[in-house]
Copies of this chain bind each other. A is one copy, B any other.
Amino acid sequence: MLEKIDMKKEVNPADYNERMAHLEIRMGELQRKCKELGIPIMIVFEGFEASGKGTMINKMIQPLDPRGFKVYTMEKENEEEKMHPYFWRYFIKTPAKGRIHIFDRSWYQGLENGKVTPEDVRQFERQFTDDGMVVIKFFLAITKKEQKKRLKALEQDSATKWRVRKEDRQKNKEYDKYLEQYDTMLIQTDTSNAPWTVVEAMEKKFAICKIMTIVVNRLEAAVAEAEAGKPEKILVEEEFSEDLKNGVLQGIDLSLSLEPEEYKKKRKDLQKRLGILHNKMYLQRVPVVLAFEGWDAGGKGGAIKRITQCIDPRGYEVVPVSAPNDIEKAHHYLWRFFEKFPKDGHLTIFDRTWYGRVLVERIEGFATEAEWKRAYSEINNMEAHLVKSGAIVLKFWLHIDKDEQERRFRQRQETPEKQWKITDEDWRNREQWEAYEKAVDEMVVRTSTKEAPWFIIEANSKLYARIKILEIVVEALEKVLK
């Protein structure tokens, strides 16, 4: 995409002021329109060193209402960012509905240093465009000679000298090599949902006109599409097979139990080992994610407590997940979870999880069919990314039968200090038992991966369930930690 372009394109000076004035007014109008329609917009600037990204961004934002945009300069990762999965610092900065977020450098740095693959990048962008986001990507191109000239000019000005790093001069020398690399990158990540625009950036007036024109055109198309109420494409997936329905939860032996004496002994031993492992995790900088799902009153809270009781509170966090708040709702549904993932060496326990998308949101209709159907692969990609970044991810479904649930509901209602735990909603959810069974089946089949397996826990006996979970956690950690 870069090799045959004419980087020296110019704009007719006589037209420039008029065109810009028109584009600026249009940008302001479209920003307000997109805000109204709740369209999130992400604009990425990549390009050669000294190709003028900063200048272009500054010109582009002048007509915008500052209440609705933000510029992110993505320099080298800081300590905190290094201790998170690669996409973390980008994901948490993605715009809410109606906002414009502009990235000066972006996740494409990860392609240069091998932290992610072109496929990872395509999936990363895809999940947002599927969710209605407009992703606009600019690559600013200048010639080797021009780059050399600009770097020199920067160096000769005492106020800007510091901006030129040694590696920039080196990169200028190896311009041809980089041109080729960039070209490959652009080709591999030029998708229909998030296409690249190469900007010939020798002449600044031409470049800003082109950038503004593309933004205006893309936003106009998005507004038109939103106003027309374009139907969502539902992912064509292989139909969920009949044999699998009610399969996963059927083989479970809910009569398994444990005597209190044995429970105590085992618990003590496992908690002690876990305490040691928690220290090792911290020392060896391994992040751990434990995801708990299960029937209401399935015993998630009690099981989680048996894990946290014996470990240092400075190294773990329990994240209880309920309905998203307004700000969370205005983002991609995985955004609020991405924010919470542990940094290296820490443990995060989710009490309910991102699987809400294919459970309660599916069943209650909070997510459309298109949304929950594509969620399986989005979730698999996300968990694979966590694991690739070094995390251990274990997922538990706490399984009880309908009678046991009723027994526990009644018990909660009869115990004064537990009454707050039981609400009408719990009784209502219970009526959907069969729908949940089906959804759980499909979830376990579609998202049990080698990297992030599901464990179905026989939980009619609380003691049995707690020990089984502790065992799984301890064994998984012992396998990895030396």
Contact = CB atoms under 8 A, between A and B. Distances in A.
B313 A57 contact: yes
Given A28-B417, A67-B322, A71-B314, A308 B160 contact: no
A431 interface: no
Interface of A: 25, 28-29, 32, 54, 57-58, 61-62, 65-67, 70-71, 73, 78-80, 104, 159-160, 162, 275-276, 279-280, 283, 304-305, 308-309, 311-314, 317-320, 322, 325-327, 351, 417, 420
Nearest to A321: B67
Contact of A54 (B80, B304, B314): B314
A67 B320 contact: yes
Nearest to A65: B320
A239 to B, nearest CB: 38
Given A66-B318, A66-B320, A160-B279, A313 B71 contact: yes
Given A70-B317, A159-B280, 11 more contacts: A28-B417, A54-B312, A58-B309, A58-B313, A66-B318, A73-B314, A78-B80, A104-B313, A104-B314, A159-B279, A325-B326
Contacts of A319: 66
Contact of A308 (B58, B283, B317, B318): B58
A42 B129 CA distance: 41
A283 B162 contact: yes
Contacts of A420: 32
17 contacts: A25-B417, A54-B312, A57-B313, A58-B308, A58-B311, A61-B313, A62-B308, A66-B319, A71-B313, A71-B317, A73-B314, A159-B275, A159-B276, A159-B280, A325-B326, A326-B326, A327-B327
A291 to B, nearest CB: 15
A313 B54 contact: yes
Nearest to A24: B417
A73 B70 CA distance: 30
- Closest 9 A/B residue pairs (Cβ): A66-B318, A73-B314, A67-B320, A159-B279, A58-B313, A159-B276, A57-B313, A54-B312, A71-B313
A333 to B, nearest CB: 19
A32 B62 CA distance: 48
Contacts of A78: 78-80
Indicate the member of A61, A62, A159, A304 with the most B CB atoms within 10 Å: A159
A56 to B, nearest CB: 9
A226 to B, nearest CB: 19
Given A80-B80, A320-B66, A417 B29 contact: yes
A111 B320 CA distance: 35
Contacts of A62: 305, 308-309
Indicate the member of A280, A417, A420 with the most B CB atoms within 10 Å: A417
Contacts of A417: 25, 28-29
Contacts of A318: 66
A287 B420 CA distance: 49
Contacts of A162: 279, 283
Nearest to A69: B318
Nearest to A72: B314
A417 B27 CA distance: 11
Nearest to A326: B326
Nearest to A283: B162
A159 B417 CA distance: 38
A312 B159 contact: no
Contacts of A276: 159
A466 to B, nearest CB: 15
